[in-house]
Amino acid sequence: MAILWNKSLEIGNTLIDEQHKKLFEKADQLFEAGKQGKSKEYIIQLFDFMDDYAKTHFRDEEKYMLSINYPEYNQQKQMHESFIQKLSDLRQEYEKAGANITVIIGANQFILDWLINHISNADRKIGEYARKIKD
Ligand SMILES: [Fe+2]
Protein backbone atom coordinates (compact mmCIF):
# COMPACT_ATOMS: atom_id res chain seq x y z
CA MET A 1 0.00 0.00 0.00
CA ALA A 2 1.42 3.31 -0.97
CA ILE A 3 0.02 6.34 0.67
CA LEU A 4 0.97 9.44 -1.20
CA TRP A 5 0.78 13.14 -0.73
CA ASN A 6 -1.27 14.87 -3.40
CA LYS A 7 -2.03 18.43 -4.39
CA SER A 8 -5.45 18.45 -2.76
CA LEU A 9 -3.59 18.45 0.57
CA GLU A 10 -1.75 21.66 -0.23
CA ILE A 11 -2.35 24.35 2.35
CA GLY A 12 -0.68 27.06 0.29
CA ASN A 13 2.39 27.69 2.40
CA THR A 14 5.49 26.20 0.77
CA LEU A 15 7.33 25.46 3.99
CA ILE A 16 4.39 23.63 5.58
CA ASP A 17 3.54 21.79 2.38
CA GLU A 18 7.13 20.56 2.06
CA GLN A 19 7.06 19.37 5.67
CA HIS A 20 3.82 17.48 5.06
CA LYS A 21 5.30 15.86 1.94
CA LYS A 22 8.32 14.79 3.94
CA LEU A 23 6.13 13.02 6.49
CA PHE A 24 4.31 11.15 3.74
CA GLU A 25 7.69 10.05 2.40
CA LYS A 26 8.80 8.85 5.82
CA ALA A 27 5.55 6.95 6.30
CA ASP A 28 5.97 5.33 2.92
CA GLN A 29 9.49 4.25 3.89
CA LEU A 30 8.12 2.78 7.10
CA PHE A 31 5.48 0.77 5.22
CA GLU A 32 8.10 -0.36 2.69
CA ALA A 33 10.44 -1.40 5.49
CA GLY A 34 7.55 -3.41 6.93
CA LYS A 35 7.02 -5.22 3.64
CA GLN A 36 10.67 -6.15 3.53
CA GLY A 37 10.69 -7.31 7.14
CA LYS A 38 12.93 -4.41 8.15
CA SER A 39 10.63 -2.53 10.51
CA LYS A 40 12.96 -3.11 13.45
CA GLU A 41 15.86 -1.41 11.76
CA TYR A 42 13.77 1.44 10.48
CA ILE A 43 11.78 2.27 13.55
CA ILE A 44 14.55 3.91 15.54
CA GLN A 45 15.35 6.29 12.67
CA LEU A 46 11.66 7.06 12.44
CA PHE A 47 11.46 7.99 16.12
CA ASP A 48 14.46 10.28 15.80
CA PHE A 49 13.00 11.89 12.71
CA MET A 50 9.59 12.32 14.32
CA ASP A 51 10.93 13.97 17.47
CA ASP A 52 12.63 16.60 15.42
CA TYR A 53 9.85 16.87 12.90
CA ALA A 54 7.15 17.38 15.49
CA LYS A 55 9.06 20.21 17.13
CA THR A 56 9.82 22.22 14.01
CA HIS A 57 6.77 21.39 11.96
CA PHE A 58 4.20 22.14 14.66
CA ARG A 59 5.97 25.35 15.55
CA ASP A 60 5.94 26.48 11.90
CA GLU A 61 2.36 25.39 11.30
CA GLU A 62 1.10 27.09 14.46
CA LYS A 63 2.92 30.28 13.48
CA TYR A 64 1.30 30.16 10.07
CA MET A 65 -2.17 29.60 11.54
CA LEU A 66 -1.73 32.61 13.81
CA SER A 67 -0.56 34.74 10.90
CA ILE A 68 -3.82 34.11 9.04
CA ASN A 69 -5.98 34.24 12.19
CA TYR A 70 -7.05 30.66 11.67
CA PRO A 71 -10.22 30.09 13.74
CA GLU A 72 -9.44 26.48 14.68
CA TYR A 73 -6.00 27.24 16.03
CA ASN A 74 -6.77 25.94 19.54
CA GLN A 75 -8.09 22.58 18.33
CA GLN A 76 -5.02 22.23 16.13
CA LYS A 77 -2.71 23.05 19.01
CA GLN A 78 -4.40 20.37 21.11
CA MET A 79 -4.01 17.77 18.37
CA HIS A 80 -0.33 18.67 18.07
CA GLU A 81 0.14 18.27 21.80
CA SER A 82 -1.57 14.91 21.80
CA PHE A 83 0.65 13.82 18.88
CA ILE A 84 3.75 14.69 20.91
CA GLN A 85 2.37 12.80 23.91
CA LYS A 86 1.57 9.67 21.88
CA LEU A 87 4.95 9.79 20.22
CA SER A 88 6.66 9.93 23.57
CA ASP A 89 4.52 7.01 24.87
CA LEU A 90 5.48 4.91 21.86
CA ARG A 91 9.11 5.80 22.24
CA GLN A 92 9.06 4.86 25.91
CA GLU A 93 7.52 1.55 25.07
CA TYR A 94 10.23 1.03 22.48
CA GLU A 95 12.95 1.85 25.00
CA LYS A 96 11.46 -0.57 27.52
CA ALA A 97 10.57 -3.48 25.30
CA GLY A 98 12.51 -2.94 22.05
CA ALA A 99 11.00 -3.07 18.58
CA ASN A 100 8.45 -5.76 19.34
CA ILE A 101 5.30 -6.30 17.31
CA THR A 102 3.18 -4.02 19.55
CA VAL A 103 5.59 -1.14 19.06
CA ILE A 104 5.86 -1.74 15.32
CA ILE A 105 2.11 -1.98 14.76
CA GLY A 106 1.55 0.94 17.12
CA ALA A 107 3.98 3.13 15.15
CA ASN A 108 2.41 2.17 11.82
CA GLN A 109 -1.08 2.89 13.05
CA PHE A 110 -0.02 6.11 14.68
CA ILE A 111 1.54 7.56 11.56
CA LEU A 112 -1.24 6.32 9.26
CA ASP A 113 -3.88 7.79 11.51
CA TRP A 114 -2.05 11.11 11.49
CA LEU A 115 -1.82 11.24 7.70
CA ILE A 116 -5.50 10.40 7.30
CA ASN A 117 -7.14 12.23 10.17
CA HIS A 118 -4.83 15.12 10.71
CA ILE A 119 -3.02 16.10 7.51
CA SER A 120 -5.74 14.98 5.10
CA ASN A 121 -8.54 16.39 7.17
CA ALA A 122 -7.69 18.99 9.84
CA ASP A 123 -4.71 20.52 8.01
CA ARG A 124 -6.47 20.52 4.65
CA LYS A 125 -9.02 22.86 6.22
CA ILE A 126 -6.26 25.38 6.91
CA GLY A 127 -5.72 25.46 3.13
CA GLU A 128 -9.42 25.91 2.46
CA TYR A 129 -9.54 28.78 4.91
CA ALA A 130 -6.38 30.42 3.52
CA ARG A 131 -7.83 30.31 -0.02
CA LYS A 132 -11.12 31.76 1.18
CA ILE A 133 -9.55 34.78 2.84
CA LYS A 134 -7.42 35.49 -0.24
CA ASP A 135 -10.47 35.81 -2.51
FE1 LIG B 1 -1.66 20.45 12.10
| Residue boundaries of the structural domains of the chain | 10-134
What mean pLDDT is predicted for residues 51-68?
Answer: 96
Residue 108, Ramachandran bin (φ over 0: left; ψ between -120 and 50: alpha; else beta): alpha
CATH architecture of 10-134: Up-down Bundle (1.20)
The answer to whether residue 130 scores a pLDDT higher than 60 is yes
The pTM for the full model equals 0.92
What mean pLDDT is predicted for residues 38-57?
Answer: 93
Q: Please tell me the distance between residue 36's alpha carbon and the centre of ligand 1 in angstroms.
A: 31
3-class SS string, the chain: CCCCCCHHHCCCCHHHHHHHHHHHHHHHHHHHHHHCCCHHHHHHHHHHHHHHHHHHHHHHHHHHHHHCCCCCHHHHHHHHHHHHHHHHHHHHHHHHHCCCHHHHHHHHHHHHHHHHHHHHHHHHHHHHHHHHHHC
The answer to whether residue 1 scores a pLDDT higher than 60 is no
What mean pLDDT is predicted for residues 83-96?
Answer: 95
d(CA 94, CA 131): 41
Q: Please tell me the distance between residue 20's alpha carbon and the centre of ligand 1 in angstroms.
A: 9
Q: Please tell me the distance between residue 124's alpha carbon and the centre of ligand 1 in angstroms.
A: 9
What mean pLDDT is predicted for residues 58-67?
Answer: 97
